[in-house]
């Protein structure tokens, strides 16, 4: 017997669709570094520079004998000779989109009355994630490439380039500049040496935990390089964030030299997250991030999950913005409304010795 069922009554026979008027973006879009880093003076050129200098080691064991005349050649110094110019390039970030005239007129699901407005909103979010990823990248600065077939504009150096104690290119392309890199050449794989960079990958290529001892080594080295006890922000990938939260967990019974934790449960809830650590060298505010140490064009990887950027809360690390994020409508040529979003900025790290990183 022929029978109409839910499977053979299709849209041809008049079956209706049930598509709710909802649209949910299912990708990370929070950009904490771009949102919290301070802005310093706007650059006046596509290559912006600043001066760095250091102090000699203290000397006090050879005071001049009273009444001794000074020698012009040996008793006077040039205190300007160690100054070095460090710089970064301003990068242009740009995205563009278009909507045809008829597409703008028809009714579509998703809660957007205008596909053009929705496209602009989406592109602005994408541009922010582009900028955030570039700030938190290991990209070295480079001038525009104009060779036929590979044209591209200036690239700015990212935080993990500035915080690399072994960098020999980009910002640190000379011996004089390399004297102002982050301290240390990296932790030994047994975690015994101190450095301002912790490598979570051991000699066998497998990941190792970022322990409290490693964290103290990192902080103490950053303190030695920067010379100030202050407030820091630690932007952390999810895997690193979980390991830091474990600092508060008593895994086994408390005994011997283990710490004693008192849990106060009010209203049936218990707090299992660390958002701030008070250390010997200042307060560290932990901020989760999904855009650290990511390769352009790639999603979240093990490298980004394990990455961390320790940044002073002062203006040691800042953004120099030549042109903020904006939308520019372009003339329509018959095919529909067109627009682009653009921003021009660069990252300024005035003291690489005062920052730390986890990779």
pLDDT above 90 as % of the chain: 60
* Token code pair at residue 285: 């505010």
Domains of the chain: 28-50+83-247+271-358 (3.90.1690)
Alpha carbon distance 8, 185 (integer Å): 69
Write down the pLDDT at residue 188.
Answer: 42
pLDDT digits (tens, 9 = 90+) for 50-99: 999 998 888 889 888 999 998 888 888 899 999 999 999 999 999 999 99
Judged against a pLDDT cut of 90, whether residue 1 lies above it is answered with no
174-228, pLDDT tens digit by residue?
999 999 999 975 544 444 566 899 998 765 566 788 999 899 999 999 999 988 8
147 pLDDT band, cuts 50/70/90, is low
Tokens of 316: 């040691």
271 has pLDDT over 80? no
Among the residues of the chain, which ranges form H helices? 32-36, 101-105, 115-135, 159-162, 175-178, 212-226, 238-245, 302-305
């Amino acid at each position: 017997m022929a029978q109409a069922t839910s499977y053979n009554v299709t849209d041809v026979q008049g079956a209706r669709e049930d598509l709710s008027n909802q649209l949910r973006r299912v990708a990370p879009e929070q950009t904490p570094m771009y949102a919290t880093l301070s802005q310093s003076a706007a650059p006046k050129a596509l290559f912006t520079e600043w001066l760095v200098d250091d102090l000699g080691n203290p000397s006090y064991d050879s005071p001049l004998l009273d009444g001794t005349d000074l020698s012009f050649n040996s008793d006077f110094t040039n205190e300007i000779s160690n100054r070095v110019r460090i710089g970064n390039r301003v990068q242009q970030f740009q995205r563009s989109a278009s909507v045809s005239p008829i597409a703008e007129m028809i009714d579509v699901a998703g809660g957007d009355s205008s596909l053009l407005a929705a496209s602009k909103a989406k592109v602005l979010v994408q541009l922010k994630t582009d900028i955030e990823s570039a700030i938190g990248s290991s990209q070295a600065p480079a001038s525009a490439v104009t060779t036929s077939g590979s044209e591209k504009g200036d690239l700015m150096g990212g935080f993990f380039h500035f915080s690399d104690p072994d960098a020999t290119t980009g910002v640190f392309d000379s011996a004089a500049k390399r004297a102002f890199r982050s301290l240390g050449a990296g932790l030994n794989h047994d975690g015994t040496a101190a450095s301002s960079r912790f490598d979570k990958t051991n000699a066998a290529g497998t990941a190792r935990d970022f322990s409290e001892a490693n964290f103290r080594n990192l902080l103490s080295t950053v303190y030695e390089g920067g010379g100030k006890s202050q407030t820091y922000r630690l932007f952390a990938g999810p895997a690193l964030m979980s390991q830091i939260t474990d600092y508060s967990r008593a895994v086994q019974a408390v005994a011997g030299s283990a710490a004693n934790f008192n849990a106060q449960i009010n209203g049936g809830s218990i707090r299992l997250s660390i958002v701030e650590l008070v250390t010997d060298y200042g307060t560290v505010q932990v901020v989760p991030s999904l855009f650290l140490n990511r390769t352009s064009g790639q999603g979240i990887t093990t490298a980004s999950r394990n990455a961390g950027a320790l940044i002073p809360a002062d203006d040691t690390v800042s953004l120099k913005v030549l042109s903020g994020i904006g939308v520019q409508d372009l003339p329509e040529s018959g095919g529909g409304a067109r627009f682009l979003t653009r921003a021009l900025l660069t990252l300024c790290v005035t003291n690489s010795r005062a920052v730390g990183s986890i990779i």
